[in-house]
Copies of this chain bind each other. A is one copy, B any other.
């Protein structure tokens, strides 16, 4: 990338052009105002669609050809089939077979099962990926092997980019656990049921062409229409869209590590003592072991107090469902279901609602769900002394995770990062993070097994917690403690080549990832 580098508002050198497209450097929170109108796809006419409503074609290959698949197109997919996805790789097998080149893949996330895609990144079928790269694809990128530059966006940032026309989807290929012949689809039933399709909304609204791929063709009308047939061009029926046991886990599990449980306990106590946890609060945790433990403790506190959380935002798990069913949570709003208990619940519990990230996380819309959340529990691979945090790379420099909804969630009223002080004897709290994914201004509380740091910006919380018996420390103290134990972490050596850019929720560039010197 020959583009000029400029220093952005968090002090990182970022390019002004990525993959031949102009980009805006991050200018600080709330500084970027969008202009112009949303993207809108071409006007269709029903004259081009079958009068009997039957859009089923013989194969994905046929559908892709009918959609005019050609060099340079952008193909989008969602990640609801997670590590059990059997559809995405097939798209590029077909593209390769058809000798199509320089595609852009825009997944809402990728997983280890997508490792075969590296072959197509190597042979030029795919130019680059815009989307999170969990595991092997991330490593491939960090090694400088991808032709174009990766663009990483949050789930909401992906919606923003699609909506604003920063990325134009030529063909969306949407796997669906059930569909009727018209393309009305949802995820409630079928062998690959995954509960919710909350990441596919922007794709079918804004793509020029939409293909639904299902292994479960059902009678018209397939309700609810989580994907709406009026946006769908073709329906493809295949034997299997996914491997069920890799789509949803049979059991999500609370951590049993004593350290993690201690962090969870500290977090719950802090939430209660600080008054953040209260009756009718809006809360969001994750599905990781520590988050689940926090949820469990919160559930107990709510029960004792006779309180309830008014809204919990998913990714949902059986633990959230338990809160719903035991009356400590009024509503679950859900963009993805992580386990079988959650899938079951969304089909049957009246107050367990599908709520796409399109509605929850897009920064360029008329209000976000995230700013309404009282409690937001998030993770991080690294946090620096200014509370800036990293979620995409490890301290060895490798890009191994996606942003997920993390950046979007930073806009909650109280953002809490329960993290271990170190991992594999590498400090998590440090002078500087490898990659800045979120500015410290938005991160309020760091909870570790060695103490809790409150962002100095949160004078209200510091005052409130004065005299608390909880181990409140400064972030500097936590950092020093980590370094006393593990030693000062060595700087990673990078080459100059920028292999990925990290977008902020407003579409500006907050940081880059460089090729690791191996």
Structural contact, A221 and B311, CB atoms closer than 8 A: yes
* Interface membership of A267, Cβ < 8 A: no
Structural contact, B46 and A230, CB atoms closer than 8 A: no
Structural contact, A366 and B229, CB atoms closer than 8 A: yes
A164 to B41, CA, bound (A): 11
A219 to B311, CA, bound (A): 10
Chain B residues whose CB sits within 8 angstroms of the CB of A231 once the complex forms:
365-366
Chain A contact residue count (CB 8 A cutoff): 62
* Interface membership of A518, Cβ < 8 A: no
Known contacts A30-B47, A219-B310, A365-B46: A39-B36 contact under CB 8 Å? no
Within 8 A of B (CB), among A141-162: none
Within 8 A of B (CB), among A407-421: 411, 413
Which of A229, A232, A311, A359 has the largest count of B CB atoms less than 10 A from its CB?
A359
Which residue of the partner chain, among B37, B163, B182, B310, contacts A367 with CB atoms under 8 Å? Answer: B182
A interface secondary structure, majority: loop
Chain B residues whose CB sits within 8 angstroms of the CB of A220 once the complex forms:
310-311, 372
Structural contact, A366 and B230, CB atoms closer than 8 A: yes
Structural contact, A49 and B366, CB atoms closer than 8 A: yes
Known contacts A53-B371, A221-B331: A363-B43 contact under CB 8 Å? no
Structural contact, A43 and B164, CB atoms closer than 8 A: yes
* Interface membership of A128, Cβ < 8 A: no
Within 8 A of B (CB), among A288-326: 310-311
Within 8 A of B (CB), among A218-243: 219-221, 223-225, 228-233
Chain B residues whose CB sits within 8 angstroms of the CB of A47 once the complex forms:
30, 33
A225 to B224, CA, bound (A): 13
Structural contact, B46 and A366, CB atoms closer than 8 A: yes
Chain B residues whose CB sits within 8 angstroms of the CB of A485 once the complex forms:
none
Closest Cβ of chain B to A123, distance in Å, is 33
Which of A40, A364, A367, A371 has the largest count of B CB atoms less than 10 A from its CB?
A367
* Interface membership of A44, Cβ < 8 A: yes
Structural contact, B364 and A45, CB atoms closer than 8 A: yes
Structural contact, B164 and A46, CB atoms closer than 8 A: no
A491 to B313, CA, bound (A): 66
- 5 nearest interchain CB pairs? A40-B40, A38-B40, A49-B367, A51-B371, A34-B43
5 further contact pairs, Cβ within 8 A, besides A33-B47, A46-B368: A35-B43, A36-B43, A43-B163, A45-B363, A52-B372
